Amino acid sequence: MSVLNVTRKRRRGRRGEQPMVPDAEFSSYYGKPVINSPVWSVPDVPGYLFLGGLAGLSSLLAAGSDLTGRDALGKVGKLGAFGAGVLSLVGLVHDLGRPMRFLHMLRVLKVTSPMSVGSWLLSGYVPLAGVAAATTVTGRLPRIGALATAGSALLGPAVAAYTATLLSDTAVPAWHDGYREMPFVFVGSGATAAGGLGLLAAPIAQMSPARNLALLGVGLELAMFRRMRTRLGMVAEAYDTGKAAKYVKAGQALSALGAVGAVVGRRNRIACALSGVALLAASAATRWGVFHAGMISSEDPKYTVVPQRERIRKRRGDKEF
Amino acid sequence: MARLTEKTVDPASEAGYVDHPRRMGFFTDTSVCIGCKACEVACKEWNAIPEDSGPLTGMSYDNTAGLGANTWRHVAFIEQRKPMAYQEPGVDHRDIDGLALAEQGFSVSEAAEEFRWLMASDVCKHCTHAACLDVCPTGSLFRTEFGTVVVQEDICNGCGYCVPACPYGVIDRRADDGRAWKCTLCYDRLGVGQEPACAKACPTESIQFGPLDELRERAARRVEQLRADGVTDARLYGADPDDGVGGDGAFFLLLDEPEVYGLPPDPVVTTRDLSAMWRRAGAAALLAVAGAVAAFALGGSR
Amino acid sequence: MPSLGTSFGRGGATTFQQDLQNSDCIVIEGSNMAECHPVGFQWVMEAKAKGATVIHVDPRFTRTSALADLHVPLRAGSDIVFLGGIINHVLSEEKYFRDYVLHYTNAATILTEEYRDTEDLDGVFSGLDTEERAYDFHTWQYDGTEMRAASGERDQQYADQTRGGETVRQSARGEAHGSGGAEVGNPVRDETLTHERCVFQVLKRHFARYTAEMVEQICGIPRDTFARVCDALTANSGRDRTSAFVYSVGWTQHTVGAQYIRTASILQALLGNIGRPGGGILALRGHASIQGSTDIPTLFNLLPGYIPMPHARSNTDLDSFVAAESTHKGYWANTRSYLVSLLKAYWGEAATEENDFCFDYLPRLTGSHSTYETVLTQIAGDCEGYFLMGENPAVGSANAKLQRLGMANLKWLVVRDLSLIESATWWRDGPETETGEIRTEDNATEVFFLPAAAHTEKDGSFTNTQRMLQWHHQAVEPPGDARSDLWFTFHLGRRIRQKLADSTNDLDRPILDLAWAYPTKGEIDEPDADAVLAEINGWDANGIPLSSYEQLKTDGSTACGCWIYCGVYAGGVNQAARRKPGGEQNWVAGEWGWAWPANRRILYNRASADLDGKPWSERKALVWWDAEQGRWTGHDVADFVADKSPHYRPDDDARGPRALSGIDPFIMQGDGKAWLFVPAGLTDGPLPAHYEPQDSPFRNLLYRQQRNPVREVTQFVHPDNRLQPSGDEPGSKVFPYVATTYRLTEHHTAGGMSRWLPYLVELQPEFFCEVSPELAAERGLKHIGWATIVSARAAIEARVLVTERMTPLIVQGRRLLQIGLPYHWGPNGYSVGDAANELASVSLDPNSHIQEVKALACDIRPGRRPRGPDRVALVRDYQRRAGITERTGTEM
Ligand SMILES: Nc1nc2c(c(=O)[nH]1)N[C@H]1C(S)=C(S)[C@@H](COP(=O)(O)OP(=O)(O)OC[C@H]3O[C@@H](n4cnc5c(=O)[nH]c(N)nc54)[C@H](O)[C@@H]3O)O[C@H]1N2
Ligand SMILES: Nc1nc2c(c(=O)[nH]1)N[C@H]1C(S)=C(S)[C@@H](COP(=O)(O)OP(=O)(O)OC[C@H]3O[C@@H](n4cnc5c(=O)[nH]c(N)nc54)[C@H](O)[C@@H]3O)O[C@H]1N2
Ligand code: SF4
Ligand code: SF4
Ligand code: SF4
Ligand code: SF4
Ligand code: SF4
Ligand SMILES: [Mo]
């Protein structure tokens, strides 16, 4: 393989280095990325991922609470779901290059576009969550409230899960190649967040489903994250690099902390609240981590070139490289 | 979604056009590119693309660095310590004395000859399975009757989804106007029977425009000829309808590995895996419901 | 080019770009064709696709090298050794095309006994006047007859023919890129080529020392690379195969530039490659119509059609001028008809037989008035006003500072340009305002800037590199006050004539008597460019357009603005506007535009056929004798008297074209032959000899004579034009590197047309120097950092581009590192940078008066240059370290 022209110049505008810095592993064009990095910004998009998970799972929590008569937890869930849903929409619109053209999202429905699917989902989900929230707050129209709650609980899991598809359905190696596990990580992370919100805001008496949800979420998220990394192979490095590594590590630490706190401090309102905050932060950190890992993997051509080369080699059955 | 995994021969029919013109595309033969950048300038002039000046990059003679919202044609320059692609004179001259040396091909013993400068003009591939188009939520990106992929600037809302979806790093969002831009394969010129501006400007016919099937045949002959003449590095890129994107509408003859030119060696349209992604997402959503049920069922101390 | 003119008869490229597709081997040397003539380069690619071998000989690995089969890096300024080495190889290995050489060149001609070669005089030729620093070429003549140059310096004989005129020599009459004619008696020939004084034997002796070893030592080209070039070239020349040479300013911009081209001319003549398809010497010209501006010249020493400008002291009247300038044989025998028709075009009715057709009205030369001499007269205060129309000398001319100092001493300056170029703004923001050498408030030059219309905004023609006129039609109106140069010139003349209308002063007659009635059109009274073309073409007494210069008369019944263009308006049709697509005609494409002479595309194409008029080979057929019809026929218009049989032999007293035989393809030459040896017309020798560039880190290994003895330097001695020590001279090590200057595809010349265009600027945004990794290491230069380059004239700064395209060479056992400097930058526009021309000295080729900007000894150091007065101080410091005085480098 050629070892030329591999300087580490990333983005347009910055200056390259000596033209002939050798790199033993792969060739690239002056170290420039092969694919264009997402133009999505922070906090809009990682926030959107986080809030979507929080909203979706909160709706489930709310519906369960209604069914099991946990009014307060239900209220937290509904308000949380609606708040997060609205904020996530705000994030989405804010990130558009032409926010005034937001409605163009609803010109068509394309299953090939997770963003299209998501837009339709959200535009169904957010009003439902809104009605659910409004009815609990005002206490009016309980039947419609119940229907809305059920409806949002039905759409909620989709809202939480689709954002993984949104990321995976790109050429960004750290996202695309993780498409098998990412929905589970995201759902787990959503559960962590929704549980965390319950721990933070619900009365201690009604808290246990939230705690359970959080613990299940933490478990799922951590397990699937580990699996994702194994499958990603060298691309997993992106999750151990720079900002991504910081967020991912923080997320895991906070998850563990929150989980332990939620269990150990379960009789203490403050401990519960603190655990809740930790879990919310953990969920957010995970999304931030995933987001940055994607950026890192798109900015360094090796994440594109090496796995693709590997793929070609495997296809050709050429083992002795 | 089944179409995503199938081999598509005719994307325009696919997109619902009946009686449409033949699929048009580019064959860029980089072995004759002289790096004059006439294509870059012609594209900018014709499409009134904003200027995009930066400082000297130090990347050989490439100062526009890559495709993007304001660079729809980009000429790459690669300086290599590799022998020049010496082409055997095709005319038979064995009867002439003294050409023995030239007949063997020039030896590569000298440092001066172990050097070559590759130039290649890159552009949107107008993929058969175009990820950008697939993921566009607004329908701004569409398939034309010529089988090309074009952004409608009055529809695009700048969601940016197409940007990371493209496996070649082609389409990009313009910072100041918020919309996504890329090569239109001069849709406006094609419509009135003209060839694209870049191809028109290219002095050496490095950029060849025409019906894709004809271009593919021509390219196959060219690569064969070059190889026969001793340019063993010559290879086609994006010409195979069985590749990860179903073949490129704009494909290339390269003299080195694609990644040397900044191209992905084995691009795959991301939506090829989309069914699997949706299934996974569905499973995860169901698991979420199950988890919630469990959370309530498990109960707890309080 | 005087070299092509003296070698073959006309100064233009002998072939056209499209014909390169027929070549079997193309040597591009002294030209970066792919970058500077990208559209024409497609024909090189076409040839390559057909199997031709493409060789690029250039100090740098360029975009042309990238597409070549072989790149041969060499030391800038050493091409004569390289080409001379090939000549030596061709002669000693007997690889020349004997039949061609014997009959179509002057190889068999015997020289006078007085002739002494560089072999005899250690590097100079006989006739060198060391006082005057000039050659008297009487000893270079053929035995038994005197030759007159077809083009080039014809002045020397002037004295002989007119008895008088000693300052004539300096006035560079009969310059450059001519279409010539020559004078001859009946020279003595030795058809066996063995006579020791025959040109062939002289050639052999002269080039014997140009060995492969010397090529290696002087050019830095390894012997096996050299052998490969020799093999490729000789194997691809002969009856059945042809090779072409392509050159441009990489050859001309040297103090021995004309002789570079001469060396290639000798080689191509020996190989039998002139006048044949796929052969020739393609001189690639520069600016879109630079060929046009030598045909209808912007040169001070020529009238249209290469008629020399008369001299004040010697050309007293029409008869003596014609006697001096015309010849007995060939087409220059008709000089009188060309000149009289020109005078009729200028002065119309006023020009009569009685008043010598107003010959007296023509301006006269009093010495050299080249652009560089003019600058010195500005500095001296003798030249007070200046028009700059389409030129940016503050960036584009060698030693740009000298140009600015000259302009700073003018009373008035008019700049007509598309953009506000440096030549119009030096007084407020030029480099000297920064160093304090020019103070805006003290400067008295009144500067007028007049916006010019670009070619898209006016009708007109370009005469391109292959002598072809192509018409362009106006596409849009010029914006605002912008006006075409035609408009400006016409209306300026009109107004001056109005002001002088009542004058009784005889001095004003030449202006008042001008035929100045051009039709105008439109709101701005734009003169009709078509009418100007019609005048250039000429008409007869009834105003009927002429179709050939053979119709021109000496009696004043015809008018013609430029005899070589006669026919461009034949039949009242603008032939230059013809655009029959290439696909609808053969590759010669005779119906696309119109080429001088007489729409012939390959010059001297009679040489493509053998003595009997049959093509040398079927594969290389171009024109041939059709015995049945009694005419020359073929793919191109024959460059020969159409019905002159190959078997025609002239009587002894035949005159003009009739004096040449049916086997004399070089019809502008007095003897009808290609000149391997040039008995007249070149100021610095009948044969090329290698001399080192003016400033060189090496001594001349071939002769004791270091530099071209008659190069033009002494007239340019000035504190801001100091020269450097060379070779072994003390102080030469202060400037150990060789820089060369050149162009990039992305920019144009002095930048007026590219540094203001954002789409071009983004492609090459900054001035840079190209250096090898070895040089970067040696001097601590950082990739895309800054470097300062210093000569005895200036210090400039540039970004550093470290690249392996710059190859270190081993020259005279020493490692030589070269520096590349594109010369497009200056302080104005979107993209700004120092001008490479600050570094160059004014040292000129004595034939063409072209500056040496292709081989400059210099120093390079990391970091930016000093600002303000410190910049000057740095240069002075270098001068001191190198021990430079007023006399350094001026030695003969
Ligand atoms: N894009 C573009 N095209 C142009 C122009 C432009 O500015 N930009 N300018 C036009 C004009 S005015 C002209 S005159 C032509 C000029 O056309 P070219 O002559 O091709 O232009 P240059 O780049 O000045 O020089 C040619 C080459 O000569 C090499 N060289 C330098 N010294 C030597 C030497 O001693 N020996 C040899 N063998 N080579 C040497 C340089 O490295 C360079 O590659 O181009 C015309 N075309
Ligand atoms: N160091 C170095 N110096 C060189 C050379 C080199 O190779 N190295 N090359 C030399 C050569 S070959 C050349 S040709 C010169 C070029 O040197 P210049 O001729 O001084 O440079 P240009 O930038 O071509 O200047 C032409 C100007 O004409 C203007 N112009 C264009 N069209 C029109 C028009 O229709 N009317 C009018 N009035 N103006 C117009 C343009 O805007 C431009 O400013 O440089 C020479 N100097
Ligand atoms: S190359 Fe990229 S931008 Fe072009 S059609 Fe394919 S996916 Fe879309
Ligand atoms: S940025 Fe525009 S073109 Fe790209 S996906 Fe979004 S709406 Fe479609
Ligand atoms: S086809 Fe048109 S839009 Fe595309 S690169 Fe060429 S000129 Fe630009
Ligand atoms: S115009 Fe043609 S030759 Fe020039 S850079 Fe573009 S592709 Fe290459
Ligand atoms: S700029 Fe004009 S003259 Fe020069 S190569 Fe291009 S088309 Fe030809
Ligand atoms: Mo030029």
Q: Which of C3-7, C86-90, C706-710 has the lowest mean pLDDT?
A: C3-7
Which residues, in sequence order, are CB contacts of A57 under 8 Å at separation 6+? A156, A157, A160, A187, A190, A191, A193, A194, A195, A213, A217, B288, B292
Which three-class secondary structure state does DSSP give residue B141? strand
Mutate which: C35, C759, C810, vs B, most B CBs within 10 A = C759
Task: Return the closest-CA partner of residue C768 out of C742, C737, C800.
Answer: C800
Token representation of residue A60 = 């489930």
What pLDDT, in 10s, does the model give residues C707-718?
Answer: 999 999 999 999
Helix, strand and coil in chain B, % to nearest 5: 30, 15, 50
Which residues, in sequence order, are CB contacts of A41 under 8 Å at separation 6+? A95
Ligand 6 centroid to residue B73 C-alpha, Å: 10
Residue B262 placed within a domain:
yes
List chain B residues with CB under 8 Å of A33: 169
- Which residue of chain C is at minimal alpha-carbon distance from B226? C49
Ligand 1 centroid to residue B57 C-alpha, Å: 24
Indicate if B120 and B144 belong to the same structural domain. yes
Q: Which residues have beta carbons under 5 A from ligand 8 (an ion)?
A: C 286
For residues A145 and A133, what is the distance between their CA atoms, to the nearest angstrom? Answer: 8
CATH code for position B225: 3.30.70.20
Alpha-carbon distances, residue A8 vs A16, B121, C784 (angstroms): 7, 22, 15
pLDDT band of B6, cuts 50, 70, 90: low
Indicate if B200 and B298 belong to the same structural domain. no
Three-state helix/strand/coil letters over B35-53:
CCCHHHHHHHHHHCCCCCC
Q: Do the chains contact at A17 and C803, CB–CB below 8 Å?
A: no
ipTM of the modeled complex: 0.94
Residue B2 placed within a domain:
no
Q: What is the DSSP letter of B195?
A: P
B74, C72 contact by CB (below 8 A): no
pTM reported for the whole predicted model: 0.93
DSSP C431-460: HHHHHTSS-GGG---EEEEEEB--GGGS-E
Ligand 2 centroid to residue C284 C-alpha, Å: 16
Stretch B176-203: mean pLDDT: 97
List chain A residues with CB under 8 Å of B286: 157
Indicate if B284 and B240 belong to the same structural domain. no
For residue C288, the ligand 7 atom closest to its alpha carbon is 3
pLDDT of residue C151: 56
B23, B213 contact by CB (below 8 A): yes
Residue A32 placed within a domain:
no
Which residues, in sequence order, are CB contacts of B191 under 8 Å at separation 6+? none
Nearest 5°: the CA angle C49, C53, C56 is 115
Indicate if B157 and B301 belong to the same structural domain. no
pLDDT of residue B97: 35
Residue A107 placed within a domain:
yes
Indicate if B156 and B94 belong to the same structural domain. yes
pLDDT of residue B94: 35
Burial class (CB in 10 A: 0-12, 13-18, 19+), A8: middle
Residue A59 placed within a domain:
yes
User: Which value, in Å, is the radius of gyration of the alpha carbons in chain A?
Assistant: 22
What pLDDT, in 10s, does the model give residues B239-282?
Answer: 999 999 999 999 999 999 999 999 999 999 999 999 999 999 99
Phi-psi sector, C329: left (phi>0), alpha (psi -120 to 50), beta: beta
Domain that holds residue B208: 11-271
Residue A224 placed within a domain:
yes
Is the pLDDT score of B53 beyond 60?
yes
Indicate if B187 and B220 belong to the same structural domain. yes
pLDDT of residue C325: 82
Indicate if B296 and B264 belong to the same structural domain. no
CA C287 to chain centroid? 12
Find residue C707's DSSP bridge partners: C692
Residue B54 placed within a domain:
yes
Indicate if B125 and B180 belong to the same structural domain. yes
Domain that holds residue A57: 40-300
List chain A residues with CB under 8 Å of C803: 19
Q: Do the chains contact at C803 and A19, CB–CB below 8 Å?
A: yes
Task: Return the closest-CA partner of residue C3 out of C301, C284, C258, C295.
Answer: C258
Indicate if B167 and B61 belong to the same structural domain. yes
List chain C residues with CB under 8 Å of B115: 61, 71, 804-805
Stretch C560-583: mean pLDDT: 96
Looking at the 3D structure of chain A, how many domains does it have? 1
Residue B4 placed within a domain:
no
CATH code for position A199: 1.20.1630.10
pLDDT of residue C461: 96
Indicate if B222 and B150 belong to the same structural domain. yes
Task: Return the closest-CA partner of residue B273 out of A291, A170, A37, A235.
Answer: A170
Stretch C795-805: mean pLDDT: 97
For residues C837 and C597, what is the distance between their CA atoms, to the nearest angstrom? Answer: 36
Indicate if B69 and B130 belong to the same structural domain. yes
Task: Return the closest-CA partner of residue C482 out of C457, C462, C459.
Answer: C457
Phi/psi of residue B234, nearest 5 degrees: -65, 135
B174, B69 contact by CB (below 8 A): yes
Q: Do the chains contact at B278 and A212, CB–CB below 8 Å?
A: no
Mutate which: C31, C48, C50, C69, vs B, most B CBs within 10 A = C69
Residue A306 placed within a domain:
no
Is the pLDDT score of C163 beyond 60?
no
Alpha-carbon distances, residue B287 vs A63, A182, A214 (angstroms): 16, 13, 14
Looking at the 3D structure of chain B, how many domains does it have? 2
Nearest CA to ligand 2 atom 41: C752
Token representation of residue C530 = 């078509």
Using CB distances shorter than 6 Å, the residues near ligand 2 are C 249, 253, 286-287, 389-393, 396, 416-419, 421, 452, 454-455, 485, 741-742, 749-753, 823, 836-837, 840, 853
Find residue C414's DSSP bridge partners: C387, C448
Which three-class secondary structure state does DSSP give residue C534? helix
Average pLDDT, rounded, for chain B: 89
pLDDT of residue C311: 87
Task: Return the closest-CA partner of residue B294 out of A48, C843, A57, C160.
Answer: A57
Residue A313 placed within a domain:
no
With b for 16 or more beta-carbon neighbours within 10 A and e for fewer, the C163-183 pattern comes to eebeebbbbbbbbbbbbbbbb
With b for 16 or more beta-carbon neighbours within 10 A and e for fewer, the A15-39 pattern comes to bbbebbeebeebbbbbbbbbbbbbb
Stretch C3-22: mean pLDDT: 94
For residues B216 and B239, what is the distance between their CA atoms, to the nearest angstrom? Answer: 7
What pLDDT, in 10s, does the model give residues A280-318?
Answer: 999 999 999 999 999 999 999 999 999 999 999 999 875
Token representation of residue A237 = 């490095």
Indicate if B77 and B104 belong to the same structural domain. yes
Q: What is the pLDDT along chain A (321 residues), one digit of tens a residue?
A: 333 333 333 334 444 443 443 344 789 999 999 999 999 999 999 999 999 999 999 999 999 999 999 999 999 999 999 999 999 999 999 999 999 999 999 999 999 999 999 999 999 999 999 999 999 999 999 999 999 999 999 999 999 999 999 999 999 999 999 999 999 999 999 999 999 999 999 999 999 999 999 999 999 999 999 999 999 999 999 999 999 999 999 999 999 999 999 999 999 999 999 999 999 999 999 999 999 999 999 999 999 999 999 999 999 875 544
